[in-house]
Amino acid sequence: MNTTAEHKSRCRRLMANTDDLHEDLHVLVDRFGPFKAVENYGPWVEAQYIFQQQLLGLYEDKQVAELLPDAAHRSRLQAAAKDLAFLGHAVPTVDAVPYEKDLPLIEALAWLFVSEGSTLGAAKLIKYAEALGLSANEGASHLAAESPAARMTSWKQFTAVIDGLQLSDAEEEQMLAAAKAAFRNFRTVLEQCFEKPLAA
Ligand code: HEM
């Protein structure tokens, strides 16, 4: 795949074209209230753990690493696992991925776009978590960044890769469809984590 700086605004287009799905997540997060009370926070971390577990194969993908050498280090699976341990919340089993085997690279990048983009909202969410008495070392490490500057640098490095891809119109559509699928998948995961019956 060729890369070029030609399509500088691809990430902005992806953001704009998934804005309704992002907004849906806001509404859902408001409804489930993970940051309103610490009792509601466990299912949120569980959802994050499941999403990161689903994405692990993409973060560790060799083709992804060629474009984004630090991709494997970006996974927040271990952070979510640490947060679940801190909360004493059970670690869910994830035995299937919500995308096809051998996902094309641009679709893999679109799924990662949703995960990496979620670190932007996390800058706000960690403040809400802190208001619940949590912190980067105590239950909220999956929302943490070394610093606000590091968070932005990491995002800029990621968007530079996405924006640098040279894609046909059909591939642009393919990428958008994959980003939408990733947003919808997170919605499903969130619903499952918050709406499952409480253990007896
Ligand atoms: C699983 C995926 C995602 C989830 C669960 C998520 C969730 C959220 C939530 C709940 C907020 C609101 C924070 C507040 O109360 O102000 C937020 C804000 C935000 N999100 Fe997302 N988001 C996701 C993906 C993305 C993506 C893909 C992007 C961009 C590419 C993005 C960009 C932002 C930005 C820029 C904000 C505003 C942050 C601020 O005001 O400081 N998010 N997100």
Q: What is the pLDDT of residues 12-59, one digit of tens each?
A: 999 999 999 999 999 999 999 999 999 999 999 999 999 999 999 999
What average pLDDT does range 179-196 have in this prediction? 96
* Domain extent at residue 58: 10-194
Give the distance (Å) from ligand 1 centre to CA of residue 35.
14
Closest C-alpha to ligand 1, atom 2: 118
Q: Is 107 part of a structural domain of the chain? A: yes
Which tens digits make up the pLDDT trace of 151-170? 999 999 999 999 999 999 99
Atom of ligand 1 nearest to the CA of 116: 27
- CATH number of domain containing 100: 1.20.910.10
Distance CA 119, CA 147 (A): 12
Report the pLDDT value the prediction gives residue 149, as an integer from 0 to 100: 97
Task: List residues near ligand 1 (CB under 6 A).
Answer: 15, 22, 25-26, 29, 113-114, 117-118, 120-121, 123-125, 186
Residue among 6, 11, 59 at smallest CA distance from 162: 11
Give the distance (Å) from ligand 1 centre to CA of residue 165.
24
How many domains is the chain partitioned into structurally? 1
Report the pLDDT value the prediction gives residue 181, as an integer from 0 to 100: 98
Res. 2: pLDDT tops 50? no
What average pLDDT does range 163-180 have in this prediction? 97
Closest C-alpha to ligand 1, atom 11: 121
Report the pLDDT value the prediction gives residue 1, as an integer from 0 to 100: 53
Using 50, 70 and 90 to split pLDDT, how confident is the model at 197?
A: low
pTM of the model: 0.94
What average pLDDT does range 175-185 have in this prediction? 98
Across all residues in the chain, what is the average pLDDT?
94
What average pLDDT does range 104-112 have in this prediction? 98
Q: Is 85 part of a structural domain of the chain? A: yes
Angle at 166 between CA 184 and CA 5, to 5 degrees: 105
**Among residues of the chain, what percentage have pLDDT more than 90?**
92
Distance CA 136, CA 158 (A): 23
Give the distance (Å) from ligand 1 centre to CA of residue 152.
13
Contacts of 162 (CB under 8 A, 6+ apart): 10, 11, 14, 109, 113
Report the pLDDT value the prediction gives residue 196, as an integer from 0 to 100: 74
Q: Is 199 part of a structural domain of the chain? A: no
Q: Is 114 part of a structural domain of the chain? A: yes
Closest C-alpha to ligand 1, atom 31: 117
Q: Is 2 part of a structural domain of the chain? A: no
Which tens digits make up the pLDDT trace of 57-75? 999 999 999 999 999 999 9
Q: Widest CA span of the chain, in angstroms? A: 56
Q: Is 3 part of a structural domain of the chain? A: no
DSSP single-letter state for residue 199: P
